[in-house]
Amino acid sequence: MRAVIKGTGSALPRTRVSNAELAKRVDTSDEWIVERTGIKFRHIAEHDETTSSLATQAAQRALDAAGMAACDIDLIVLATATPDQTFPATATTVQENLGCNGCVAFDVAAVCSGFLYALSVAESMIRAGSARNAIVIGAETFSRILDWEDRTTCVLFGDGAGAIILSAEAGEKGVLATRLHADGAHNQLLYVDGGAGTTGTVGKLRMKGPEVFRHAVVNLSSVLKEVLAESGESIDDVDWVVPHQANERILDATARKLKLSPDKVIKTVDQHANTSAASVPLALDTAVRDGRVKSGDLLVLEAMGGGFTWGASVIRY
């Protein structure tokens, strides 16, 4: 049995902010942001929009796409670095909102790689027989942990959620291989200086961009080669790479390093900015709904985030 994607969904906050609008609040410009990142817009959550509300919307749309009901679900794994509360898990709020009464529900924290980690956990549980139908979600409200006085970071991020339905099914489709990594030695390159836990402080995101960029290109190209080798596929077999949408320059540099055609890389960073754990499922849902990703396509999902954590998954859609 394999874990097969049966449906995708996504959700974005109501408020869409352009670079020009952001420049009225921050010492920046549209030209500066686009040249360095490729970002043109991002969505920012209003006071009544939370990580759980966005996650619920994305999950419901994925259920609708799969033609399934909430009562069919026996597992929810939600990846987020911005939970509604320190505890309980935001996944339990989504469970209640959807009406998935009694199913297993928990959060995974691996920042921008969180969706890949959550996907791996859910896929493993399905293969082990402890779950049959799972909702895997990446959801974030990163705008609430940004330092809006730091123009080098606050322009990079947005809010949103993406979700997939995974179901146990025999056949050629499904998750073929996943590889995950972490290296805590690089904590101080991308982190939040306080917040949840025992610090008793309200934290803000801090990042050393150039160093993160260098690690991202090396780690992502390496893990893509690694996961393809494990799956028995080659780079030429890949129909689409669905990467973490952090920075267009990282996406282009990684593609060049792999000798991969840029036409095979799904890009939504210009419209959504970096939505952390939500970015991969958001990009996947966008490409599924606009018709680029079709049944039978070979996909590679990949991401790297704070920790550092990074990973990739090969999936026959």
Does residue 219 carry a catalytic annotation?
no
- Please determine, for residue 178, whether its predicted confidence score (pLDDT) is greater than 60: yes
This prediction has a pTM of: 0.96
58/249: higher pLDDT: 58
Burial label for 270, CB within 10 Å (0-12, 13-18, 19+), is middle
- Reported as a pLDDT band with limits 50, 70 and 90, residue 239 is very high
244 is known as an active-site residue = yes
Every domain of the chain and the residues it spans: 2-169, 174-316
Of the given ranges (56-70, 164-178, 188-202, 296-310), which has the lowest mean pLDDT? 188-202
CB count within 10 Å of CB 240 equals: 22
Q: Are 301 and 212 in contact (CB under 8 A)?
A: no
The CATH number of domain 174-316 is 3.40.47.10: yes
pLDDT at residue 197 is higher than 70: no
| Both structure tokens of 27 | 């010492």
- Residue 45, classed as helix, strand or coil, is coil
Side-chain half-sphere of 59: how many Cα atoms within 13 Å? 34
Q: Are 2-169 and 174-316 in the same CATH fold?
A: yes
Tell me the H-state helices in the chain: 19-23, 30-37, 51-66, 90-98, 114-128, 151-154, 209-231, 248-258, 269-272, 279-289
Q: For 110-120, write each residue's pLDDT tens digit.
A: 999 999 999 99
CATH number among 1.10.3720.10, 3.40.47.10, 3.40.190.10, 3.30.70.580, domain 2-169: 3.40.47.10
Distance CA 254, CA 243 (A): 10
Cα–Cα nearest to 274, from 156, 126, 147: 156
Per-residue pLDDT averaged across 115-131, rounded? 98
Q: Which residue among the candidates 219, 244, 247, 272 is catalytic per the annotation? A: 244
Tell me which H or E stretch contains 42. strand 41-44
Q: What is the pLDDT of residue 145?
A: 94
pLDDT reported for residue 263: 93
* Centroid of chain to Cα 255: 19
> Distance between CA 189 and CA 4 in Å, rounded?
35
What pLDDT, on a 0 to 100 scale, did the predictor assign at position 257? 86
Would the pLDDT of 198 be above 80? no
Model pLDDT, residue 217: 87
- Going by C-alpha positions, the residue among 247, 249, 251 that lies closest to residue 266 is 251
Give residue-wise pLDDT tens across range 12-59.
999 999 999 999 999 999 999 999 999 999 999 999 999 999 999 999
* Active-site residue, selected from the candidate residues 100, 103, 112, 154: 112
Using 50, 70 and 90 to split pLDDT, how confident is the model at 196? low
Is 100 known to be catalytic?
no
Per-residue confidence (pLDDT) for residue 190, from 0 to 100:
92
